[in-house]
């Protein structure tokens, strides 16, 4: 019998022994807006003792608030070389004052566009780029001409985002495409995620780099339902995005032209999604719905033309751009040490190797030496590019491209973490985590074979120990050493990395406890192509 089938059989047997499972009491706690964002003290000047304080947990993050993460453990702040600390302090002053001016005018944020395959995500983004003046007439005409030549004229807007030959031939997004545009009060980086189930790891990588999400759903008969049923990507993407910390979401109900701009269909879709969104941890005040027609550009920036008129007979609310313009900007954690998970690597035209990623915390500047983890290698930042412009420094929350020199490119891998050599991220092959188990059909038992996702990295792992089941409301231990974890349980577990196929030794990955750095402490667990749990890192065991 194959190991997965054996594991499934064993789990089901154990589950049948009902006494082994402590069922959590009470429903999950709903999100409440946080008043106090986590703040780790700024790096002080040399000689000043570093104040230590317990991290404050952002209760907006409902998915994880159910894990009851408030901890009295002090945040770990590594010692820094005094000279460097001084330079950093000066830089931080400059960063703060520059950001204060920039953000007065336009606040910056990143959005990931998610949803079931063919919902119209790339079309929506391509058309939006055009409406907002970020795609010129020449590019538009070229995309129309070339997509028509290839017999794919309905994808002409999507070609603005789907740039590779394979993506264009197959008519699907495979990797994350990044673009930028501005609304009157927001400077937005947009990450177009693939909708196909096969490319979920890329979708996870995109969502881990974003502050907010747009879920695009297809209003055509049966199409919305296909994305929303069990195994549908609208459903899975919503859960994944929330588990990765995304709390604000816009639901773009697309292709309403296919149903003659029927208000009843729009209301039906909103009505089906609302309870699921709440159940998945999205606060209703952070969830907005908007009817759109991506292909015709209806209700993106304006509501004009015949289709616009039909929509206006029953809808007078905001356009998509109005909603984007009102999104809350994230808090930038610039005072914590620099952390950049690498999401892509390429050879550019200039010298050096180019890496892309999101600066999760801290500040990075040109000329700075960075450590690449795992491994012993360092490199020097030669160029920082943000939205195709070269900048001297970038602050937390920025999606950037770095050119690294003085580094052997072989040492750079997707999923590696860049950090300061003086403040490195711990490496782990084993750690404890608090997790929430999704609506799984096969329960989890000790030794369960899984895939662990951390930013752009996925590695083989196992749930090596079931430490305790937890009450989802209070976080209190319900049962220690449970024999099985059933669906919707909250639990503390030990996760141990397994050796990859071609090796006998597990390779460590760089991650941090959630209490030290939230963005570095989130994990997702998948099994046989299904996401089975999400959680946060508690303790690195080694
Ligand atoms: N009728 C109609 N068709 C649309 C609309 N928006 C998109 N489409 C069509 O839907 C198909 C899929 O569009 P894409 O933009 O590639 O969908 P996607 O969600 O990006 O696809 P993946 O990234 O591969 O999941 C294309 O044929 C589009 O022309 C719309 O508003 N109305």
With a cut of 90, say whether residue 189 has pLDDT above it: yes
pLDDT-derived band at 153, boundaries 50, 70, 90: confident
Spell 181-200 as b/e; 16+ CB within 10 A means b: bebeebbbbbbbbbbbeebb
- 117: closest CA among 35, 172, 188? 172
pLDDT-derived band at 83, boundaries 50, 70, 90: low
With a cut of 90, say whether residue 184 has pLDDT above it: yes
Q: For position 141, what pLDDT does the model report?
A: 86
pLDDT-derived band at 418, boundaries 50, 70, 90: very high
Distance 155 CA to ligand 1 centre (A): 7
**pLDDT per residue as tens digits for the range 288-338:** 999 999 999 999 999 999 999 999 999 999 999 999 999 999 888 999 999
Distance 121 CA to ligand 1 centre (A): 6
Give the count of beta carbons closer than 10 Å to the beta carbon of residue 230: 9
pLDDT-derived band at 9, boundaries 50, 70, 90: low
pLDDT-derived band at 168, boundaries 50, 70, 90: low
Is the CB of residue 356 less than 8 Å from the CB of residue 342? yes
pLDDT-derived band at 115, boundaries 50, 70, 90: very high
State the DSSP H helix or E strand holding residue 287, giving kind and residue range, or none if neither: strand 287-291
With a cut of 90, say whether residue 439 has pLDDT above it: no
User: For ligand 1, atom 24, which residue shows the shortest CA distance?
Assistant: 172
With a cut of 80, say whether residue 165 has pLDDT above it: no
Q: What's the token pair of residue 241?
A: 């995005």
Is the CB of residue 100 less than 8 Å from the CB of residue 200? no
With a cut of 90, say whether residue 474 has pLDDT above it: no
* Average pLDDT value over all residues in the chain: 83
With a cut of 90, say whether residue 188 has pLDDT above it: yes
**How many separate helices (H) and strands (E) can be counted in the chain?**
12, 26
Give the count of beta carbons closer than 10 Å to the beta carbon of residue 16: 9
457-470 and 477-480 as β-strands: parallel, antiparallel, unpaired?
A: antiparallel
pLDDT-derived band at 127, boundaries 50, 70, 90: very high
Q: For position 260, what pLDDT does the model report?
A: 97
Tell whether omega for the bond before 374 is within 30 degrees of 0, i.e. cis.
yes
Distance 162 CA to ligand 1 centre (A): 12
d(CA 318, CA 214): 15
DSSP 43: P
Q: For position 51, what pLDDT does the model report?
A: 31
Q: Is 117 in the pocket of ligand 1 (CB under 6 A)?
A: yes
Residues across the chain: 542
Q: For position 529, what pLDDT does the model report?
A: 87
The CA–CA distances, whole Å, from 338 to 41, 52, 420, 480 equal 14, 19, 6, 37
d(CA 11, CA 21): 12
- 490: closest CA among 46, 45, 66, 52? 66
pLDDT-derived band at 24, boundaries 50, 70, 90: very low
d(CA 402, CA 358): 10
**pLDDT > 70: percent of the chain:** 83
Q: For position 275, what pLDDT does the model report?
A: 96
d(CA 120, CA 115): 9
Residues 107-128, mean pLDDT to the nearest whole number = 93
With a cut of 80, say whether residue 91 has pLDDT above it: yes
Q: Output 125 or 167, whichever has higher pLDDT.
A: 125
With a cut of 70, say whether residue 32 has pLDDT above it: no
With a cut of 50, say whether residue 128 has pLDDT above it: yes
Residues 250-256, mean pLDDT to the nearest whole number = 98
Residues 515-531, mean pLDDT to the nearest whole number = 92
Is the CB of residue 400 less than 8 Å from the CB of residue 338? no
The lowest-confidence range among 86-100, 271-285, 349-363, 518-532 is 86-100
Return the best residue to mutate from 158, 177, 195 for the ligand 1 pocket (most ligand atoms within 8 A of CB). 158
d(CA 220, CA 223): 5
Is the CB of residue 482 less than 8 Å from the CB of residue 21? yes
The contacts of residue 20 (CB under 8 Å, 6+ apart) are 14, 482, 483, 484
The separation between the first and the last C-alpha atoms of the chain, rounded to the nearest angstrom, is: 33
- 293: closest CA among 347, 255, 341? 255
d(CA 240, CA 276): 13
Helices (H), 119-162: 121-131, 137-149
Helix, coil or strand: residue 327: coil
Q: For position 30, what pLDDT does the model report?
A: 25
Return the best residue to mutate from 112, 116, 117, 120 for the ligand 1 pocket (most ligand atoms within 8 A of CB). 120
d(CA 527, CA 542): 24
With a cut of 50, say whether residue 159 has pLDDT above it: yes
Q: What's the token pair of residue 219?
A: 């209003």
Q: Output 299 or 18, whichever has higher pLDDT.
A: 299
User: For ligand 1, atom 8, which residue shows the shortest CA distance?
Assistant: 120
Q: Is 194 in the pocket of ligand 1 (CB under 6 A)?
A: yes
Q: For position 163, what pLDDT does the model report?
A: 63
With a cut of 80, say whether residue 27 has pLDDT above it: no
With a cut of 80, say whether residue 166 has pLDDT above it: no
DSSP for 289-303? EEE-BTTTTBTSS--
Q: What's the token pair of residue 8?
A: 């499934």
Q: For position 162, what pLDDT does the model report?
A: 65
Output the pTM of the full model.
0.80
- Atom of ligand 1 at shortest distance to CA of 216? 19
Q: For position 515, what pLDDT does the model report?
A: 93
The vertex-108 CA angle with 76 and 80, nearest 5°, equals 25
- Atom of ligand 1 at shortest distance to CA of 172? 24
Q: Which ipTM score applies to this complex? A: 0.98
Residues 26-43, mean pLDDT to the nearest whole number = 26
**pLDDT per residue as tens digits for the range 197-245:** 888 888 998 898 899 999 999 999 999 999 998 778 999 999 999 988 8
Return the best residue to mutate from 114, 260, 294 for the ligand 1 pocket (most ligand atoms within 8 A of CB). 294
d(CA 164, CA 114): 19
């Amino acid at each position: 019998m194959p190991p997965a089938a054996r594991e499934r059989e064993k789990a089901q047997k154990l589950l049948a022994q009902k006494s082994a499972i402590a069922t959590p009491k009470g429903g999950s706690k709903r999100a409440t807006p946080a008043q106090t964002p986590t703040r780790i003290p700024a790096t002080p000047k040399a000689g000043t003792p570093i104040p230590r304080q317990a991290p404050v947990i952002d209760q907006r993050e409902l998915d994880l608030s159910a894990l009851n993460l408030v901890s009295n453990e002090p945040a770990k702040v590594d010692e820094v070389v005094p000279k460097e600390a001084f330079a950093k302090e000066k830089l931080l002053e400059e960063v703060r004052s520059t950001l204060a001016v920039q953000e007065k005018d336009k606040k910056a944020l990143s959005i990931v566009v998610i949803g079931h395959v063919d919902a119209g995500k790339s079309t929506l983004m391509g058309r939006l780029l055009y409406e907002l003046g970020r795609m010129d007439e020449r590019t538009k005409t070229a995309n129309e001409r070339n997509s028509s030549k290839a017999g794919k004229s309905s994808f002409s807007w999507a070609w603005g985002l789907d740039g590779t030959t394979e993506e264009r031939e197959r008519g699907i997004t495979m990797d994350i495409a990044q673009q930028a545009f501005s609304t009157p009060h927001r400077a937005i980086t947009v990450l177009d995620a693939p909708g196909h189930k096969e490319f979920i790891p890329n979708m996870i990588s995109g969502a881990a780099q974003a502050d907010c999400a747009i879920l695009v759903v297809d209003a055509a008969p049966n199409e919305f339902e296909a994305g929303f049923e069990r195994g549908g990507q609208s459903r899975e993407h919503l859960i994944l995005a929330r588990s990765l910390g995304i709390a604000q979401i816009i639901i773009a109900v697309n292709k309403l032209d296919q149903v003659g701009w029927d208000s009843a269909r729009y209301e039906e879709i909103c009505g089906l999604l609302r309870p699921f969104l709440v159940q998945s941890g999205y606060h209703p005040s952070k969830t907005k719905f908007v009817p759109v027609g991506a292909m015709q550009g209806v209700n993106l920036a304006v509501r004009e033309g015949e289709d616009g008129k039909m929509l206006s007979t029953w809808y007078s609310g905001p356009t998509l751009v109005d909603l984007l313009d009102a999104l809350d900007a994230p808090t930038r954690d610039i005072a914590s040490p620099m952390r950049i998970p690498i999401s892509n690597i390429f050879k550019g035209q200039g010298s050096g190797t180019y890496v892309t990623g999101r600066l999760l915390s801290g500040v990075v500047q040109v000329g700075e030496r960075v450590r690449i983890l795992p491994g012993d290698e360092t490199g020097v930042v030669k160029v920082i590019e943000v939205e195709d412009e070269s900048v001297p420094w970038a602050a937390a929350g920025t999606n950037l491209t770095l050119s690294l020199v003085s580094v052997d490119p072989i040492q750079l891998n997707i999923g590696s973490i860049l950090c300061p050599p003086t403040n490195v991220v711990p490496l782990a092959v084993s750690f404890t985590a608090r997790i929430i188990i999704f609506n799984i059909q096969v329960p989890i038992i000790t030794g369960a074979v899984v895939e662990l996702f951390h930013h752009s990295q996925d590695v083989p792992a196992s749930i090596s120990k079931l430490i305790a089941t937890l009450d989802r409301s209070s976080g209190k231990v319900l049962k220690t050493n449970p024999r099985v974890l059933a669906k919707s349980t909250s639990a503390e577990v030990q996760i141990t990395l397994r050796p990859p196929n071609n090796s006998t030794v597990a390779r460590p990955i760089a991650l941090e406890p959630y209490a030290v750095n939230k963005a570095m402490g989130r994990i997702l667990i998948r099994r046989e192509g299904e996401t089975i749990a999400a959680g946060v890192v508690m303790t690195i065991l080694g």
